[in-house]
Amino acid sequence: MRSAPTILHLDMDAFFAAAEQAAKPSLRGKPVVVGGLGPRGVVSTASYEARRFGVHSAMPMGQARRLAPNAAYLVPRFSLYRAVSEQVMELLGRLSPLVEPLSLDEAFVDLEAGGTADDTASALAAGERLRRDIRAVTGLSGSVGLAGSKMLAKIGSEQAKPDGLVVIEPGTERALLGPMSVRTLPGVGPATGDHLRRAGMTTVADLAEAGEDELVRLLGKAHGASLYRMALGRDDRAVVSERDAKSVSVEDTFDVDLHDRVRVRTEVDRLAERCVERLRAAGRSGRTVVLKVRRYDFSTLTRSETLRGPTDDPGVVREAAGRLLESVDTTGGVRLLGVGVTGLADFTQEDLFAQAAADESAAAPHAPADEREREPAGAERAPGDGAAASGAAESGGGPTEAPDVPAERRFPAGHDVRHREFGAGWVQGSGLRRVTVRFEEPGSAPGRVRTFWADDPDLELSEPLPLVPAVAGQSSWPASRPKSRSESRSERDAGRSGGSGSGRARP
Catalytic residues, which ones? Answer: 106
> Which one-letter amino acid corresponds to residue 361?
S
HEC states along 372-414?
HCCCCCCCCCCCCCECCCCCCCEECCCCCCCCCCCHHHCCCCC
467 burial via Cβ count (<10 Å: 0-12, 13-18, 19+): buried
113 burial via Cβ count (<10 Å: 0-12, 13-18, 19+): middle
Integer CA distances (angstroms), 150 to 47, 156, 239, 361, 384, in order: 26, 10, 8, 49, 45
| Widest pairwise Cα distance in the chain | 77
CA distance 302 to 411: 35
CA distance 105 to 113: 22
Roughly how many angstroms between the first and final C-alpha of the chain, as a whole number?
62
Give the sheet arrangement for strand 43-46, strand by strand. Answer: 43-46, 32-35, 72-74
Residue 455 neighbours by CB under 8 Å, 6+ apart? 403, 404, 405, 406, 409, 433
Report helix, strand and coil shares of the chain as percent, to nearest 5: 35, 25, 40
> Which one-letter amino acid corresponds to residue 488?
S
> Which one-letter amino acid corresponds to residue 247?
S
- Other beta carbons less than 10 A from residue 370's beta carbon: 10
CA distance 136 to 468: 8
Q: What backbone phi and psi angles, to 5 degrees, belong to 163?
A: 55, 55
Long-range Cβ contacts of 299-302 (<8 Å, 24+ apart): 300/336, 301/328
Task: Quote the Cα angle for 321-322-327, to 5°.
Answer: 95
- Other beta carbons less than 10 A from residue 232's beta carbon: 14
Integer CA distances (angstroms), 224 to 8, 181, 220, in order: 27, 16, 6
| DSSP conformation letters of 161-190 | -SS-EEE--TT-HHHHHTTSBGGGSTT--H
246 burial via Cβ count (<10 Å: 0-12, 13-18, 19+): exposed
